Chains A and B, each alone.
Chain A
Amino acid sequence: MKVTIDGIPVEVEPGTSILNAARQIGGDIVPPAMCYYSKLEGSGGKCRTCLVKVSKGSEKDPRPMPKLVASCRTTVMDGMEVQNITSPEVVEARKGVVEMLLLNHPLDCPVCDQAGECHLQDLGFEHGAAKTRYEFDRRTFEKIDIGDKIQLHMTRCILCYRCVFTADQITNTRLHGILNRGDHSEISTYITKAVDNDFSGNIIDVCPVGALTDKTFRFKNRVWFTKPVDAHRDCDKCCGKTTLWYKGEDVIRVTGRKDVYGEVEEFICNTCRFDKKKTADWVIEGPRKVSHKSVISSNHYEFTPLPVVKTNPVLMEANKEQFERDTRL
């Protein structure tokens, strides 16, 4: 099937979502996704940051879709034409969504462990306004320990439901879920239970913000002072392929290997994540490549220039602001 996204054609399998088709092209035209997670079935459609405009439905039915659609949950049709960053309407709507997401977010990045690898931070930087128009108290919650090694800071949560899907699909019991509705919704275990499962640590990796944090890493260090190194070990529960985060000679954190969209390649078990923090436990493979956009890479490792935008004059024009910011960095 042939799809055109922002003027760039791509051949994809039937049943692919627009977002995944865009990811096959790569570069700036990939819509941001806060709630969609390709490894979790049924995720997506909630945050609305990946809204795109379908200017031509398909070859058979060329009518445009009446509303902006969530690209993560809309499958492509043959001959579909999609506008993402070339449509001012989409850019405007996305800006609105980012503003909404940040309304009740505490913006406590200076004390948040996720800072530096936070999707909301990136999103706010790229699409958000410099100032908020919200002049009321933000909703706040007490911090709770929802597991032995996992802390939940609900105030930061953007209710992407990823951790709920993870618990459903990766672990065999789900003990937490969404309580209440509207902006009172919160993630909790209801009757205070501990999330206790060999794979429960993965909810930390899937969390796009700093709502779920690793208690063995909390306040240990800023991520941009750490060096990510790929390593593996022989694990009887999981694949054992991880990223170790070094500070000096110490492993201060172990996570799954995250790709360019912040999604782990394979889920890892809690033993690997929380208990194996000595170099001797691991076989080191080499330094982890980190996106050049990430602050983690600001002082190390190579980076590749943007593939798409630099070669396409139409996109360069449409995305001038973004382009300037990227090249400046």
Chain B
Amino acid sequence: MGRKLLLEHINVPGINTFDVYRSKGGYAAVEKAIKNMSPEEIVEEVKKSGLRGRGGAGFPTGMKWSFLAKPEGVARYLVCNADESEPGTFKDRYLMTYIPHLLIEGMIVASFALGANTSYIYVRGEMMPQIRILERAIAEAKAKGFLGKNILGSGYDLELYVQPGGGAYICGEETALLESLEGKRGNPRIKPPFPAIAGLYGCPTVVNNVESIAAVVPIINEGGDEYAKLGIGRSTGTKLISAGGNLKKPGVYEIDLGLPVEEFLYSDEYCGGIANGKRLKAVVAGGSSVPILPANLFLKTINNEPRLMSYESLADGGFVSGTMMGSGGFIAYDEDQCIVRNTWNFTRFYHHESCGQCSPCREGTGWMEKVLHRLEYGHGKMSDMDLLVDVSKKIEGNTICPLGDAAAWPVASAIRHFRDEFEWHVTNPSAAIAGNYGLAHYADPLPKLEEKVA
């Protein structure tokens, strides 16, 4: 069993209250950081830890912090991105619900490291209970002197605010989040300038995912080097995975990066295999926006090596035969699931959530949704698959923010790997409505597929 850093005390009754959290060693990182460390040392520790952004892109957090511009006399801000709305991802909500003080503690340490005196936690509007939990936790921490003026007598002031969003997926994009936080329409900004130079209210800003900020706590407690010993290669530390879909034991799991996917999927310690004795057909490894993979390609890379849960191993093979770590929204599909319907459902989501600012995404997502709807309901044509691939290519990379890419990748990958199933929907429309394509060859051993790819 891997070591747990974030969820170590998750099962302690009352861990959501200050006193219990404190008795389990909570807020030690704040004491250590504020009393014994300089902001530069903290940034250095985080750099050493090799922590990578847990929100999806996997950008090294320490690097991000060191890019923050520090002009004289201008406020700096830390914003926590808790606008978790990727289909399949629910780790941040879990963390905020059960162990809110971990996030508060991370926010204090990170704000201190960045020299921010005002920090925000931008929470998705639908998470009303979590907003209340966080506000209660902030009030508790403030009463004990961990927030507010002159924290622990160090002369450092920090105000922490929780800001509910309106429930838009696009506001999870960092610049759209900042716009929304400023009270404007949540449209992504055109970069450059990057938030590290001109972010919230035009001031230098760092936007981090909930899990990235929470992970700062064990890094400070144990040191960056210790943290970097966990994991594999450039994927250091532990990661929360929101496992969902047709699994025996869905839920949030903390894993050491580098765990073989086979172990994660089938061992009783984690997901416990596929529910109801079915077989695995496909996996979306990191939330709805990453490419979907058939079972055989997911368990083994194209070179027939076992795939690991790490940023590098999941991306092995690029977009031809790999996927991405993303935000850790692990969705497993059993043999009864229809990939066409799933792709349509994802695209419907992106169509609904596109902000409408730039034309390829605004028009293209709607177009893809309509074509996929037609395919799913038996009115498709053989040319639709090529059309979808072409439209997704026209969107990918041509938009202001990554939502366009996120909408394009699942469609392109589903057609790349499951073309047979799409074609079957066209050739057997009535059968496609009544039943589904089944497992077919998607779990067959790999070499066969290698021939097909070549």
Contact = CB atoms under 8 A, between A and B. Distances in A.
Given A46-B400, A68-B397, A183-B351, A178 B356 contact: yes
Contacts of B360: 48, 96-97, 100
B355 A182 contact: yes
B132 interface: no
Contacts of A51: 398
A133 B388 CA distance: 11
B454 to A, nearest CB: 26
Contacts of A47: 358-359
B304 to A, nearest CB: 31
Interface string A95-135: 01101110110000000000000000000000000000110
B55 interface: no
B317 to A, nearest CB: 19
Question: How extensive is the interface on chain A, given as a class?
Answer: 20 to 34
A71 to B, nearest CB: 12
Nearest to A164: B185
A67 B360 CA distance: 15
Interface stretch (B150-158, B241-249, B365-373): B365-373
Nearest to B399: A48
A158 interface: yes
B432 interface: no
Given A45-B190, A96-B398, A99-B394, A182 B370 contact: no
Residue among B351, B352, B358 with max Cβ neighbours from chain A (10 Å): B358
A97 B354 CA distance: 16
A93 B394 contact: yes
B361 to A, nearest CB: 8
Interface in B150-201: 168, 170, 185, 190
A182 B366 contact: yes
Interface residues of B, number: 28
A136 B370 contact: yes
A181 interface: yes
Contacts of B394: 93, 96-97, 99-100
B168 A181 contact: yes
B238 to A, nearest CB: 30
Contacts of B352: 182
A73 B351 CA distance: 26
A51 B360 CA distance: 12
Given A45-B400, A46-B400, A47-B359, A183 B370 contact: no
A185 interface: yes
B353 interface: yes
A147 to B, nearest CB: 22
Nearest to A182: B354
A163 interface: no
B362 interface: yes
B364 interface: yes
B67 to A, nearest CB: 16
B58 to A, nearest CB: 16
B450 interface: no
Contacts of A180: 356
Interface in A168-224: 177-178, 180-185
A101 B364 CA distance: 9
B430 interface: no
A192 B143 CA distance: 48
A301 B358 CA distance: 37
Interface of A: 44-48, 51, 67-68, 70, 73, 93, 96-97, 99-101, 103-104, 133-134, 136, 158-159, 161, 177-178, 180-185
5 contacts: A73-B190, A97-B360, A100-B394, A159-B359, A183-B363
Given A46-B357, A159-B362, A185-B356, 11 more contacts: A46-B359, A47-B358, A48-B360, A96-B393, A100-B367, A103-B366, A134-B367, A178-B356, A180-B356, A181-B356, A183-B351
